[in-house]
Amino acid sequence: MTSKQDKQGRLTEAVTSLRRAVPKLRGALIATTDGLPIAQSFDDRSDADRVAAMAATAVGLGRRINHNLGTGDLTELSVLASGGQVSLYVIGKKGVLAVVSPMGMNLGVVNMEAREVADEVALYL
């Protein structure tokens, strides 16, 4: 395996591992902060390109808000909706992990597992 293939394999395995650890998740995606999907796993036919672009845009906006308010570096943000939640975790300076949870999910478990994955994959982005 080449280095690039090895990285891709590790990132794909990280998303798969997160889905195994929290089986009720509706999906997970790792993307660049430029909005390019790298690895994903969704229950439905979610458009990874659109999800990656929206996640990157949200993280960019979150970073600007934190900068303007002087609250430090963005680490994560959440979007709560009537049918579930999307949590975004910053991966270093170059990536984002997007996790889609159904309504009623134990978000403590989601956060614990997703933060671990984000820290783990930061080495590969």
Compute mean pLDDT per 10 residues along the chain, 125 residues long, and list them. 78 96 96 96 90 97 96 95 96 96 94 96 89
What pTM does this model have? 0.93
Q: Give the SS3 label for residue 35.
A: coil
Q: Which two tokens stand for residue 118?
A: 């984000």
* Domains of the chain, first to last: 3-124 (3.30.450.30)
Count of CB atoms within 10 A of residue 60's CB? 15
CA 25 to chain CA centroid, nearest Å:
12
* Cα–Cα distance for residue pair 47/50, rounded to 1 Å: 5
* Cα–Cα distance for residue pair 107/99, rounded to 1 Å: 11
